[in-house]
Amino acid sequence: MSWLSKICLLLCIVVLYATNTFAFNSLHEIKIEPEFAVVKGMEAKIKLLAFDSLGNAIPVNCFSSVYVNNEKIDVYFSDGLAVFYYKFEKATIISIKCADVEVEKKVNPIPLWFSILPPLIAILCALLFKEVFSALFLGLFSGTFIIYLYSGVSIFSAFFKSVFSIVDKYVIEALSESTHISIIVFSMLIGGTVHIITKNGGMQGVINVLSKYAKTARSGQLVTWLLGLLVFFDDYANTLVVGNTMRPVTDKLRISREKLAYIVDSTAAPVASIAFVTTWIGAELSYIQSTLVKLQIDESAYNIFFASLKYSFYPILALIFVFLLIWSRRDFGPMYHSEKRARSKGVNVASLEKKIEHDLKDFESEKKIKPRVLNAIIPIAVIVFGTITGLIYTGWDSNIWNDESLGWLTKISGIIGNSDSYKSLIWASLSGLLVAIGLSLTQNLLKLKEATEGMIAGFKSMLTAVMILTLAWSLAGLISDLHTADFITLSISSTNMTPQFLPFVTFLVSGLIAFSTGSSWGTMAIIYPLILPTTWLLCGRAGLPYEESIGIFAHVVSTVIAGSVFGDHCSPISDTTILSSLASSCNHIQHVKTQMPYAITVAIVALIIGTLPIAYGVSVFVVYPAMIGTLWLIIRYYGKKT
């Protein structure tokens, strides 16, 4: 090192020392800021911030020590900020002494079991009051109120802070999430497209064509079911396209909005979760792959996924059950009463105590316009095929496509698995909207002003959906802060069980978490990293051979997906359940109330006759006929003709 380099280094040390010495001399306050919700037994993030007497941050860069109940923890201040993590098991004093400043703060962790209260309150209030807005708000309020009470403020202060934090923290955070904004934009664009193709006579053209095939309530439901199977690549697109397209047809045939919402909901997530080419495949494969790498299992994620499909009893049976109900023309439970009202009194009477109202005049086509089916088919086709094109474009990987060891379907699945589904959906829905406007203008069906007003009216029609989704996402954020999923998982995983019984328990845990959080994707993100390594470990401890262990592993993969979809179907705070209600213009609580008995019936049959026997060696060729036969008997002897 040259003498000049030594002098420069010395000067840097002197400047750094002088800067920090000055900073410490001007140090007036250190703030200890725990994260918003500190939960007992869960790792919490603690921030330490240095300030001068004027309240300005001081750019301190140095090591220091923090004491948590006399336990010393070394931290490093970088530009006046230090961060450390700690699991609080009881009320704890955090203290730090730096220069002449000494600060203490008491942290009182929230009991973990309290985390289940907000979703339970939201769900119970929704079912009790039959009104989703107040239910979601009360769920949010209960959670924020608990957090502020444990932060040490008075009850009076906790009340007002809880109300404000619902908006300034959780609602804002929900709307700051890019994926959430993408869903809102996509929904609004779909609403605008549907409105325009209704005004330009395209929807009436669809009704006229489908009426040739959907002449009765049964055939109308069958057409809806088939459309749900065809739009298989994404559950959001499935819900909004099928619900909005078939609603006028089913109304004409006196099919209740509850039944329409059920068919839409039960052909959205179930088919998207098991199809080879969907927006779900990427997430599912990534969770499987990361576990295989971690456990050093020499298997392909694709092979595990394909092997798991035969065990996906709930999604497959949900699709079959809908068909059996339609074909038999039977229903039971609350759905039977909804269908009977619709058949005898019409949809307007049957649509419920608190029906979602639309300005019907805005949705009527101009009388002078001749109905043309292509004015609806072309924009809808643009949305459907545009989404698939967008998925391939955003997920294109030449390495996958040029890999000769992979089959064509596997290549497509891999490419779509890498895609940006939200961007694809927005591109496609915007293209569909522009095409609908273009068709209306070029044929002189609508003037530019009329098309613009129709588009805006379509946007407005989705306001209710946006509000409910925002509150549901806000509640999901609160539930995440309170570690609700960790509470459920820890409660179940503390029990001892055999590897063969694990798929059964996994389905129940996944269903419970999805029901409580309203998110099947969130459930998979939580459960997969926990349950898959546990499954392999239990199989190893039980001394099971490799082939049997891989079979149970694949079975557990399927039950996570199946349980997530089941819980999502039953949850009033699920986004896909909410979208199904809105796309079908069905009262949301009525949709949940009528769908839940069907979902529970399918789940019980899937678990008792499918999951348990398969785990103990019964062939799938035996359990599938047994499950389908059982569902048919339930419908035949418990259901009533509608």
Amino acid (1-letter code) at residue 119: P
- Domain membership of residue 435 (yes or no) is yes
What is the secondary structure of 108-120 as a DSSP string?
A: -PBPGGGGGHHHH
What confidence score (pLDDT) does residue 19 get? 44
Q: According to the model, what pLDDT value does residue 631 have?
A: 94
Q: Is the pLDDT confidence value at 194 over 80?
A: no
pLDDT of 13 above 90: no
The first and second tokens of residue 21, run together, are 């010495």
Residue 16 domain-assigned (yes or no) = no
In this prediction, residue 606 has a pLDDT band, given cuts at 50, 70 and 90, of very high
- The pLDDT value recorded for residue 415 is 78
Q: What is the CATH number of the domain that holds 30?
A: 2.60.40.10
What is the rounded CA–CA span in Å between residue 180 and residue 188? 12
Q: In the structure, what pLDDT confidence band is assigned to residue 4 with cuts at 50, 70 and 90? A: low
| Residue 8 within a domain | no
Please indicate, yes or no, whether residues 139 and 151 belong to a single structural domain of this protein: yes
Residue 481 has pLDDT above 50, yes or no: yes
Mean pLDDT across 92-117: 81
Most confident among 375-379, 385-389, 394-398, 594-598 (mean pLDDT):
594-598
- For residues 141 and 221, state if they share a domain: no
Rounded CA gap, 195 and 365, in Å?
9
Averaged over 76-104, what is the pLDDT?
80
Residue 317 confidence class, pLDDT cut points 50, 70, 90: very high
> Which pLDDT score, from 0 to 100, does residue 10 have?
52
561 and 430 in a single domain? The answer is yes
Same structural domain, 507 and 609: yes
| DSSP annotation string for 321-343 | HHHHHHHHTEE-THHHHHHHHHH
- CA quadruple 16, 18, 20, 23: dihedral sign: negative
**Shared-domain flag, residues 79 and 223:** no
Rounded to an integer, the average pLDDT of 585-596 is: 88
pLDDT band at 367 (very low <50, low <70, confident <90, very high): low
Q: What is the pLDDT of residue 609?
A: 93
Task: Grade residue 231 by pLDDT with cuts at 50, 70 and 90.
Answer: low
Cα–Cα dist 346/467, whole Å: 29
181, two tokens: 């904004």
* 433 close to 192: Cβ distance less than 8 angstroms: yes
User: What per-residue confidence (pLDDT) applies to 168?
Assistant: 87
Q: How far apart are CA 361 and CA 273, in angstroms?
A: 38
CA distance 410 to 206: 35
Local structure of residue 39 (DSSP, 8 states): B
Contact between 91 and 56 (Cβ < 8 Å) = no
Q: Judge residue 362's burial from the number of C-beta atoms within 10 Å of its C-beta, 0-12 exposed, 13-18 middle, 19 or more buried.
A: middle
Asked if residue 496 and residue 379 are part of one domain, the reply reads yes
DSSP string, 103-172: EEEEE-PBPGGGGGHHHHHHHHHHHHHS-HHHHHHHHHHHHHHHHHHHTT--HHHHHHHHHHHIIIIIIH
Residue 5 falls inside a structural domain:
no
| Amino acid letter, 554 | A
Rounded CA-CA distance 610/612 in Å is 6
Would you list the DSSP string of 520-557?
HHHHHHHHHHHHHHHHHHHHHHTT--HHHHHHHHHHHH
Same domain for 464 and 574, yes or no, is yes
Distance CA 413, CA 429 (A): 22
Query: Is residue 237 scored above 80 in pLDDT?
Result: no
Q: Note whether residue 1 is domain-resident.
A: no
Choose the final residue of a domain: 93, 109, 125. 109
Categorize the per-residue pLDDT at 325 as very low, low, confident or very high, splitting at 50, 70 and 90: very high
Environment class of residue 624 by beta-carbon count within 10 Å: exposed (0-12), middle (13-18) or buried (19+)? middle
* 427 lies in the same domain as 548: yes
Domain end residue (candidates: 56, 86, 109): 109
* pLDDT value at residue 271: 84
The Cα–Cα gap between 118 and 484 comes to 9
Where a domain ends, among 148, 175, 202? 175
Query: Rounded distance, CA 184 to CA 579, Å?
Result: 11
Residue ranges making up the domain that contains 120: 113-175
Nearest to 354 by CA among 187, 137, 516, 133: 133
Give the tokens for residue 8.
């420069």
Give Rg (Cα) of the chain: 28
Quote the pLDDT of residue 549.
84
Q: How far apart are CA 116 and CA 132, in angstroms?
A: 18
Q: Confidence band (pLDDT; 50, 70, 90) for 285?
A: low
pLDDT in the model for residue 603 = 94
| Number of Cβ atoms within 10 Å of the Cβ of 117 | 16
Write out 269-295 in H/E/C secondary structure. HHHHHHCCCCCCHHHHHHHHHHHHHHH
Q: Please report which confidence band the pLDDT of residue 350 belongs to, taking 50, 70 and 90 as the band edges.
A: very low
Q: Examine the pLDDT at 282 and tell me if it is beyond 60.
A: no
142 to 23, 100, 121, 133, 274: CA distances (angstroms) = 43, 41, 8, 14, 37
Residue 530, domain member (yes or no): yes
Region 588-613: what's the mean pLDDT?
92
CB 629 within 8 A of CB 327: no
The answer to whether 394 touches 364, Cβ cutoff 8 Å, is no
Tell me how many degrees the CA angle 162-165-171 measures, rounded to the nearest 5. Answer: 130
Q: Where does the pLDDT of residue 496 fall: very low under 50, low under 70, confident under 90, or very high at 90 and above?
A: low
- Does the pLDDT of residue 422 top 80, yes or no? no
Q: Is the pLDDT of residue 405 over 80?
A: no
Asked, for residue 14, whether it belongs to a domain, the answer is no
Choice among 252-266, 286-300, 359-373, 602-616 with the minimum mean pLDDT: 359-373
User: 379 and 329, same structural domain?
Assistant: yes
Q: What is the pLDDT of residue 286?
A: 62
**pLDDT tens digit sequence for 209-220:** 766 777 888 888
Count how many domains the chain has. 3
Q: What is the mean pLDDT of the chain?
A: 79
**Cα atoms in the 13 Å half-sphere on the side-chain side of 307:** 18
Alpha carbon distance, N-terminus to C-terminus of the chain: 93
Phi, psi of 403 (to 5 degrees): -75, 105
Question: CA-to-CA distance for 568 and 456, rounded, in angstroms?
Answer: 31
**Selected residue with higher pLDDT from 625 and 369:** 625
Single-letter code of the amino acid located at 385: F
Both 364 and 458 in a single domain?
Answer: yes
> Residue 282 contacts by C-beta under 8 Å, 6 or more apart in sequence?
395, 416, 417, 418, 419
Q: Under a CB-based contact definition with an 8 Å cutoff, are residues 387 and 237 in contact?
A: yes
- Average pLDDT on 94-114 reads 81
Please tell me whether residues 328 and 379 are part of one structural domain. Answer: yes
Among 60-69, 105-114, 494-503, the range with the most confident prediction by mean pLDDT is: 105-114
Lowest-confidence segment of 200-214, 216-230, 391-405, 442-456 by average pLDDT: 200-214
What average pLDDT does this structure show over 274-289? Answer: 65
For the stretch 109-121, pLDDT in tens is 889 888 888 878 8
Given this model, what pLDDT does residue 493 score?
59
Confidence band (pLDDT; 50, 70, 90) for 525? Answer: low
Task: Detail the DSSP E strand segments found in 396-499.
Answer: none
- Going by their DSSP bridges, the two strands 43-51 and 62-68 should be labelled as unpaired
Q: What are the tokens at 160? A: 């007002």
In this prediction, residue 489 carries a pLDDT of 64
Q: What is the pLDDT of residue 18?
A: 43
User: CA 371 to CA 207: how far, in whole Å?
Assistant: 9
pLDDT reported for residue 12: 47
Q: Is the pLDDT of residue 599 over 60?
A: yes
Identify whether 12 is part of a domain: no
Same domain, residue pair 122 and 79: no
